[in-house]
Structure formats: C-alpha cells, structure tokens
Structure 1
Amino acid sequence: MADTSAPAPVDASQRIAFAVIAGMAGVLGLILTIDGIWRTISIAIGTEGIELLARGDLPGADARISTATVLSSEVGGSSLGFLVAGSTATLLVTAATYLAVVVFLVLAARGTPFHHLLYRVALVAGTVMTFGGLAGSALSGVGRVQAADHLGAVPDGPFEAAFTIAPGDWSFGVVVLVAAYVIRIGQRLQRDTEGLV
C-alpha cells in the first residue's frame, strides 16, 4: 500500500512562505495563550474586570447603561470559581486552535499537507474548540449570573441575572470537525486510487 504521507514537491518560495506564516501563527498563539493565562490569574486574584448585563440610568448623562464592569474581587466566591473555570476552558481552546494551525502549516511546508497526523490534529482541535468553547461560555455565563445575584439583580439592583452566548470558537469547531472527517475520507481515497492514474 502506498504511503500517502510521502513528501510532495514544494518549491523554496512556498516552503519559506509556509514557514513564515507558521512562525507568525506560533507567535500569535503564544501571545494569546500568555494573555489567557494572565487573564485567568487576574480573575482568580480579583483584579480582572468582569462585564455584567445591567439596567439603569448613566449618572450625569441623558443615557441608559446595558452593561457594567466590576472587579472580580467583588463578585463572590462561587461565581469567581465559575469565571476562573470558564477562562481556563477558553485558554485551552485558544492553545489548541493555534497548535493545530501551526501543525498544518509545518506539514504543508514539508510537502505533506495531508499527512496521516493531520486527521488526528483536526479531530482533537475541532473537539476542543466545540466542547471547550461551549463549556467556557457556559461556565463564564453561570459565573456572571451568580455575580449579578451577589451584587444585586433586577428589580432591586442594577444587574441582570442573565448572560449571552455568542457564536465563537465553538461554532467554528464544528466546521473543523467536519473538515477532519473530509480529510479522513480524502486520505482513504488517495490510498485506494494511488497508482491508478
């Protein structure tokens, strides 16, 4: 059976381009991962701003507020635990996403963009992005709801015991999971048709 991971011809300019992009993605991923670690630590020690849904008039202006930012030291112990857990899940999603991008670019630079390792990397990254992203959003959301209750929720207080989940990494993770299975099918077809053309 033919080895579908054998290197394909890649000229020097393509190799350099993929290597440069991989380096840039790696640096960006490292910066975002460090930022995520710092944000998680800041939440835990009480110095990070947490945005909560709120209602009320803006003092000194003819306007109303829809959100308010409070320090994580003010939100209460149980909500702080959920916020730290949500930030940690989001951090793992960020790290997995950029690691998968770098692996793909390195494989492309080597001339093996459809190496057997790519399916596993895409599958793991897609799973982490989908379920880790949902978990991060849900945990952070529960933390925000508890924080609103602790600080004073509507109707007596200004905060709303609610949160929003916007499509983000978790929704793109579904696309990556689909791509992983398309890659798997393509690898099998490539093995089965090797030498027929």
Structure 2
Amino acid sequence: MTVPRTPVTISHGMERGILILFMAAAGVVGLAVLLPPLRRLGALIGGETTLSMLTRADLPHSGSTETGASIAAATYESAWVTATGLSDAARWMIGLGIALGALTAAVTVGAIVYFLFLLMWKRPFHRSLIVATQIAGAALLIGSLLAGGLGGLGRMMAADELNPVANDVFVVGFSFEPGVLLAGIAVLALSLVFSYGTKLKRDTEGLV
C-alpha cells in the first residue's frame, strides 16, 4: 500500500524572504569584493602602490630533516609589495587595472541583484534582463581583458623599476586568469536563454 505524498508548497512570503536573503547575500559579497581594490586605489592616491608581483626568489630551506623529508628545490611564485616612488606611467596603469577590475565586479554583482529583483517581481524573462546580462557578460569579457592587460603592463613596469633595489627577484611579466573570460561567455550565453524565454512568453501570452 502506498501513501500519497503531499506536495510541499512555499508561501509567497517565504519565497520573497528567500529572494531578499539572496539579494542581501549578493550585496555583501559585492562589498567584500569591492573593498580591497578601493583600499588599494586609496593607497595609490596617497603615494603607496600595493600590488602582487611575480618573483623567482628562492625559498630558504635546509637539506633534510630527521624524518627523512627533504626539499630538492623551492621558489616563491608571487609576492605582495608596497612600493613608493614608482613612475607616473606605472602608477596610472596599475590604477586603471584596479579600477576596471572593480567596475567589472560591480556590474556583475548589479546584474545578479537585478535578476533576483525580477524574480521577486515575478518577471524572470523581462526584456531589461537581457540587456543586463549582455552588459554583465561584455563587462566580464572586455573589462577583465582591459584590467588584466593594463594592470599587467603596470606590474611589468614596476618590476623593471624595483629590480635594481631587489636583486632582480621580480619577473618582468604578469599572470592572467582565463576563468573570468569563460564566465563572461557563459553570461552572454545566458542572455540568449533569457531572450528565447522572453520570445516564448510573448508568443504564448493569451493561450490557455
């Protein structure tokens, strides 16, 4: 004998509360992401440049331990540096990279909050959401490229200027994370889904 299962229903108030919680969480995460670059920009305006730089400095180590574990070779990969007296060109490049990265993050978080707002408004396929996701996707693609390129150029200039006082431990180069580009492509693809959903909703309006 089987007992029929009663479907679990979520009240409208609970649904709104969950969405508001998600919006608040997205806002908090957005602030947590934006505060570090804003602090770095403030320090940059004050004359101190804080940045992560590639390095090839050796990690101090001994040959072996009593347990038999040993290190054959070890080097640091990056180092956080607070520098003063960098050239204006290097500081401008680094500052533009930081600012563009912060703007990209702000646009992305704004698109997420707007999507949650439309869900609460019960209009997940509103036409404006297509524009919002297209802007967020383009920001992730273009913004991350510009931020990485300009900031990377500034790091290369800073490494060249600081190497004479750091025994040439800094690499005149920079690293770039391609995952952001994939996220931008995914968001742009999501905008196509929203576009199709909006068209489907418009075509089925009035049908029973």
Q: Give me the TM-score of the superposition, normalised by structure 1.
A: 0.83
Q: 1:167 aligns with which of 171, 178, 187?
A: 178
Aligned to 2:12: 11
Q: Deviations over 1:99-158 (max 9, x none)?
A: 1111111111121111222111111111112111111111111111111111228xx722
Q: 1:66 deviation in Å?
A: 2.8
Aligned to 2:168: 157
Q: Deviations over 1:159-188 (max 9, x none)?
A: 211111112433311111111122112211
Distance in 2 between residues matched to 1:29 and 1:50, nearest whole Å:
21
Alignment of 1:15-94 (within 5 A): 15-58=16-59, 61-62=61-62, 63-94=74-105
Q: CA RMSD in A?
A: 2.3
Distance in 2 between residues matched to 1:74 and 1:166, nearest whole Å:
28
Aligned to 1:187: 198
Assess, with a 3 A threshold, how the Cα gap between structure 1 residues 88 and 17 changes in structure 2: closer, same or farther. same
Distance in 2 between residues matched to 1:35 and 1:151, nearest whole Å:
23
Task: Kindly indicate whether the alpha-carbon contact (under 8 Å) linking 1:72 and 1:80 is maintained by their aligned counterparts in 2.
Answer: no
- Any stretches of 5+ residues in structure 2 without a counterpart? 1-10, 63-73
Aligned to 2:113: 102
Which letter maps to 1:118? L
Q: 1:48 deviation in Å?
A: 4.5
Distance in 2 between residues matched to 1:120 and 1:77, nearest whole Å:
37
Aligned to 1:129: 140
Q: 1:74 deviation in Å?
A: 4.9
Distance in 1 between residues matched to 2:206 and 2:183, nearest whole Å:
36
Distance in 2 between residues matched to 1:171 and 1:69, nearest whole Å:
27
Assess, with a 3 A threshold, how the Cα gap between structure 1 residues 95 and 75 changes in structure 2: closer, same or farther. same
Alignment of 1:103-122 (within 5 A): 103-122=114-133
Q: Which has the higher contact order (CA 8 A, sep 6+)?
A: 1
Distance in 2 between residues matched to 1:81 and 1:38, nearest whole Å:
16
Distance in 2 between residues matched to 1:81 and 1:147, nearest whole Å:
11
Q: Percent identity?
A: 31
Q: 1:37 deviation in Å?
A: 1.7
Aligned to 1:3: none
Q: 1:194 deviation in Å?
A: 2.5
Aligned to 2:3: none
Q: 1:83 deviation in Å?
A: 0.6
Task: Kindly indicate whether the alpha-carbon contact (under 8 Å) linking 1:46 and 1:71 is maintained by their aligned counterparts in 2.
Answer: no
Q: 1:49 deviation in Å?
A: 2.8
Task: Kindly indicate whether the alpha-carbon contact (under 8 Å) linking 1:93 and 1:169 is maintained by their aligned counterparts in 2.
Answer: no
Runs of 4+ in 1 over 6 A off after TM superposition: none
